[in-house]
Amino acid sequence: MTRRRLPAVACAAALAASLAGCVLGRYSPSGVPPGAARDEVLRIMGPPTATYTMPDGHERLEYSRMPAGSQTFVVDLDAAGHMAHWENVLDENHFAAIVAGMQRADVLRLIGPPSFTSRYARPTPGITWLYHFDTIQRCILFEVSFDAATGVVLDGDYPPDPRCADNYAR
């Protein structure tokens, strides 16, 4: 009986697909049963990328795909430590909740860490956080700008995503 060998490229592709399925599957809370205890959420989802105490006192578990991804899932636990709600927070509804005067910590609790950051000096020193997110309407990013000295939100905007080929053709 002879054994056939798969070409190295086919083996590498199969391994990459297998690993991607393992990694990607763990980040969607869709497999967590409603009302699951915190320990069950952690068993299914793995350790969160961050945890936050929300203003009303409940705990939020963050599962961020940053810097290369375009999703950040949050799992909100009720006072008894059971899953009350989960969602992907990188969308225009959540971005609209970010208003001038908010602190950086408020933005982190709301939508998680950015895809990348940049600094600017004009007209006053500031910091910009940019977020990749899934949208079918257009090829854009969400951008939130902070005053560098105070950490207060100045504004938000939707610049073109430089990863999109259409943006270079203009």
Question: If you write DSSP's letter for every residue of 65-131 in order, what string do you get?
Answer: -TTT-S-EEEEEE-TTSBEEEEEE--SHHHHHT--TT-BHHHHHHHH-S-SEEEEE-SSS-EEEEEE
Domain count, the chain: 1
Domain that holds residue 155: 32-168
> What's the predicted TM-score (pTM) here?
0.78
The reply to whether 145 falls in a domain is yes
The reply to whether 83 falls in a domain is yes
The reply to whether 21 falls in a domain is no
pLDDT (0 to 100) of residue 5: 43
Q: Are 107 and 128 in contact (CB under 8 A)?
A: no
The one-character DSSP state at 31 is G
pLDDT tens, N- to C-terminus, the chain (170 residues) = 434 443 443 333 333 333 333 444 446 788 899 999 999 999 999 999 999 999 999 999 999 988 888 899 999 999 999 999 999 999 999 999 999 999 999 999 999 999 999 998 878 899 999 999 988 767 889 999 999 999 999 999 999 988 786 655 54
The reply to whether 24 falls in a domain is no
CATH number of the domain where residue 159 is located = 3.30.1450.10
The reply to whether 141 falls in a domain is yes
